[in-house]
Chain A
Amino acid sequence: MRPNPPDRMTDRLLFDHIDEPGLNTLEVYQRRGGYEALRKALSMPPEAVLHELEASCLRGRGGAGFQMGKKVSFLPKGGMDKYLVCNADESEPGTFKDRELMQKSPHMLIEGIVIAAHAAGATRSFIYIRGEYVLQADILDAALAEARAAGFVGERILGSDTSLSMVVHRGAGAYICGEETGLLDSLEGKRGNPRLKPPFPANQGLYQGPTLINNVETLCTVPSILRIGGDEYAKLGVATSTGTKLVSISGHVQRPGNYEIELGIPSREIIYGLAGGPPEGRTVKCWFPGGSSSPVLTGDDLDIPYDFDSMAKAGTMLGSGAIIVVDDSTPILDVALKVAKFYRHESCGKCTPCREGTNWTVTMLERIDAGEATPMDLEIMASVQEHIIGNCLCVLGDAMAMPIGSIIAKFKDELEAHMASKRLVAA
């Protein structure tokens, strides 16, 4: 476990001076040392930059937690067109960290993209931002124009051999477009249906070319890694979860918001220490540690260290780093119904287990609420979740099945009591 709680962690890497007025402009960003990491990276051969990324052990911040350096190394070598796509379609319920980064420090993202593209040999890049983020997309567009004019993006960047074009592409409202292959289809101008994997995007992605896809926060971390060095970065956090992470915390807490923490601190310090815990007189009933797609934990699990492997060991996942706290005043059925309805709405309809499973889960939950359910329904519902997991092209169905399955397992008594009392009322 880390010796440093977050309030004693003096250095913020991503949130350093985040509220400084004008940080979204090139002038202020450069005054704060911006684009120095890019100069350094461009003076190094791509392999050396890749080595730094691998040494940092940075794990992707979008949800899957795959090592970024490894992902870059999967791209084939050679002179073909390669693409870098920044996934800024932040739609996982409870997640809003990328929004704050793009709004307040857009140049950090642009710098990270150029460095990552240099390492990967990509010559075209796209930022796929969700259409709802109008303000953030406008800010990115303005920042990109500045960066282009200053020669940080475009042909022969800063006189080097590296060239990179960049486009801010706005989505139009679909959760599934945050899934990497759904995003690629959407970026190609199609419905955002996920693709069969393999082939993985590293081999055949955008326009069938090798494509590196990374989350905003991951790419924003890249300049810091170049600045302090991959080995130094790897000293932050814990062995298998290095570095700092933005945590979006919301729901029943007194100070919701984004916090930069060092991975591996106890979850209690985030929920109670930083966010102030639930309102006076209430206790934590359950919490989602990584967005609404992660299996829930209860008030007994608050001392689990907040890092990728500890969360996996506890049967859940760190996901996008979005903690949603539910206090004891909320019936668990309401939580389950909200979550299930969301995935039903967002299922693209391509794979049967997800399309039908999400729909029937909602129907059965509604039946419980209407007093029409029998105790057997809980078992059926649990088995529906098991049949979704692993049986679809993407993990949207799993993303409902995991939290709903965990809610049924952990709050069975409450659901049964709810069922019985509603039946009594209905009779």
Chain B
Amino acid sequence: MSTVPRFAHGSRVPGWDMAADLDKDPATVPDPATTSVPEELRADIEGHMALYPDPRSAILPALEAAQRVHGWCSPEAIDQVACVMRLTPAELVAVATFYDMLETTPVGRHSVYVCTNISCSLCGADELYEAMRVAAGDDPEFNVRSFECLGACDIAPMASVDGAYVGPLALSDVPQLLEDIRAGREVLPEKQLARRACADPGAGS
């Protein structure tokens, strides 16, 4: 009988296959005296906490802010957020592992999300993703991943490059796209969604 990879589908929890350490002390809120938090990050998180009736609501923006500083939700980043928000790191890890945009392992600095959902894949997104992956190779600067519908099916197939939507992308655009990222330029300016006009002929300007 073949072995079934039981958690291989959907589990996004790293360490699911590691034995639990039953002797470990229960998690505590990190001690502010021994946890150093960058001043800007602290101000950012506290600013978010002040916006909500329940400061806990600031967890997502706080984790995003920490990820911008640290590159991913590293144990250090989690500790810093936990320290400012007065929560245990475990509470934050439980949240971070749920969301696709919060990275729980180290990743490249530049994110390239290629949408491979239905509309994009009908227009060749699977080939595009493959080409993007091959072209980026093992360059540690890039975080190339396939993503579920990014909400830009009108420019299918498309990608979100460090948050900026570009499309429709041809396979031949891939080298230029990566080159633009490397050079720190705006990626494929003529294909940026931000400049695209409405398709509706009755909309007008």
Contact = CB atoms under 8 A, between A and B. Distances in A.
Interface of A: 6-7, 9-10, 12, 15-21, 81, 90-96, 98-100, 103-104, 124, 130-135, 167, 169-175, 186-192, 207, 248, 250-252, 255-260, 274, 288, 292, 322, 324, 326, 330, 334-335, 338-339, 342, 344-349, 355, 359, 362
B46 to A, nearest CB: 15
Contact of A132 (B52, B61, B101): B101
A92 B148 CA distance: 10
Given A172-B64, A256-B154, A324-B153, A15 B202 contact: yes
Interface of B: 9-10, 51-54, 56-61, 63-64, 94-95, 98-102, 113, 117-119, 121-123, 147-156, 160, 163-165, 193-194, 197-205
A330 B122 contact: yes
10 contacts: A9-B202, A16-B203, A91-B151, A99-B152, A104-B198, A134-B164, A192-B98, A207-B54, A258-B154, A288-B118
A344 B100 contact: no
B148 A91 contact: yes
A342 B165 contact: no
A187 B60 CA distance: 8
A131 B101 contact: yes
Given A96-B153, A172-B100, A251-B153, A191 B148 contact: no
A288 B117 CA distance: 14
Contact of B149 (A15, A20, A274, A342): A342
A189 B64 contact: no
Given A192-B99, A260-B203, A339-B118, 11 more contacts: A6-B202, A21-B205, A90-B151, A96-B153, A170-B64, A173-B147, A174-B100, A189-B59, A251-B123, A274-B200, A349-B10
B200 A130 contact: no
A167 B156 contact: no
Contacts, number: 198
A170 B48 CA distance: 11
B64 A131 contact: yes
Contacts of B60: 131, 169-172, 186, 189
Given A21-B205, A258-B154, A251 B122 contact: yes
Nearest to A327: B122
A342 B98 contact: no
A78 B197 CA distance: 45
A12 B64 contact: no
Contacts of B51: 167
A9 B165 CA distance: 31
A348 B203 CA distance: 38
Contacts of A335: 118
A358 to B, nearest CB: 8
B163 A250 contact: no
Contact of B204 (A19, A250, A288, A322): A19
Nearest to B52: A167
Contacts of A344: 9-10
Most buried by A among B59, B113, B117, B200: B200
Contacts of A135: 163-165, 193-194
Contacts of A94: 118-119, 149, 153
Contacts of A349: 10
A93 B198 contact: no
Given A132-B160, A189-B59, A342-B148, A257 B154 contact: yes
B118 A251 contact: yes
3 interchain residue pairs of minimum CB distance: A257-B199, A250-B153, A173-B100
B180 to A, nearest CB: 17
Nearest to A15: B203
Contacts of A167: 51-52
B98 A96 contact: no
B8 to A, nearest CB: 10
A95 B197 contact: no
A259 B199 contact: yes
Contacts of B56: 188-189
Most buried by A among B100, B155, B156, B193: B100
A18 B51 CA distance: 31
Most buried by B among A9, A92, A131, A252: A131
A133 B151 contact: yes
A189 B57 contact: yes
Contacts of A251: 118-119, 122-123, 153, 156
B90 to A, nearest CB: 13
Contacts of B118: 93-94, 251, 288, 292, 324, 335, 338-339, 342
Nearest to A104: B198
A97 to B, nearest CB: 9
